[in-house]
Amino acid sequence: MAKCKVCKDKFEPRFFLQKTCFNPACLAEWQKTERESKADKTHKQKKKELKDNDKSYRAKVAQQAFNAYIRFRDSNDPCISCQRHHTGQYHAGHYRSVGAHPELRFEELNNNKQCAPCNNHLSGNIADYRINLIKKIGTEKVDWIEGPHEPKKYTCAELKEIELRYKQKLKDLL
């Protein structure tokens, strides 16, 4: 004896893997459910393919992985700008902003742990950021960050690679 997946009545199956009784309403309902399930799977697959080829989505996910790595890398350090330790939220603050210098978006020297007040309310608190960045990495490297750089246009594959690289680097630190 088997149990109908729709009406829950017991029935004697006539076919291997039969899911419903022979009530036409149950058969119709089961077929409808199966069609919707297949359509959902197809829709989810197409949506995943679209996301994989969406450059803005890939950049966002790569940036999240990069920022998580930076925050963990600097977890024992104070805020790069104000040099405070506090219980608030910390960001991965860019010395040279992503909007003005997109080529430095994924540059580790350009990115350090920064408290939310400095990053959000003081627009990065750049004057103090620079002073403390020089103390942290030296004048030569800060001059390099401030110097000219080749523009970068990332492909979806490169952004995916960056995401995976920083997820792995974070995992290695843990």
Q: Name the β-bridge partners of 94.
A: 111
Q: What does the pLDDT read at residue 95? A: 92
Question: CB neighbours of 51 closer than 8 A, spacing ≥ 6?
Answer: 57
- Average pLDDT of the segment spanning 94-111: 91
- Average pLDDT of the segment spanning 143-165: 91
Q: What is the pLDDT of residues 64-97, one digit of tens each?
A: 999 999 999 999 999 998 988 888 899 999 999 8
Question: CB neighbours of 19 closer than 8 A, spacing ≥ 6?
Answer: 4, 5, 30
Share of the chain above pLDDT 90, in %: 42
Whether residues 101 and 33 fall in one domain: no
Whether residues 111 and 74 fall in one domain: yes
Whether residues 37 and 66 fall in one domain: no
Structural domain count, the chain? 2
On whether residue 143 sits in a domain, the answer given is: yes
Q: What does the pLDDT read at residue 17? A: 82
Whether residues 75 and 128 fall in one domain: yes
On whether residue 47 sits in a domain, the answer given is: no
Confidence tier at 140 by pLDDT (50, 70, 90):
very high
Check if the beta carbon of residue 54 is closer than 8 Å to that of residue 156.
Answer: yes
Whether residues 65 and 32 fall in one domain: no
Whether residues 81 and 5 fall in one domain: no
Confidence tier at 134 by pLDDT (50, 70, 90):
very high
Q: Name the β-bridge partners of 92.
A: 113
Whether residues 24 and 96 fall in one domain: no
Whether residues 69 and 149 fall in one domain: yes
Whether residues 146 and 75 fall in one domain: yes
Domain containing residue 81: 55-173
On whether residue 28 sits in a domain, the answer given is: yes
On whether residue 49 sits in a domain, the answer given is: no
Q: What does the pLDDT read at residue 53? A: 77
Question: CB neighbours of 43 closer than 8 A, spacing ≥ 6?
Answer: none
Question: Which of 47-51, 118-122, 146-150 bottoms out in mean pLDDT, i.e. has the lowest?
Answer: 47-51
Check if the beta carbon of residue 115 is closer than 8 Å to that of residue 79.
Answer: yes
Whether residues 133 and 92 fall in one domain: yes
Q: What is the pLDDT of residues 52-67, one digit of tens each?
A: 778 889 999 999 999 9
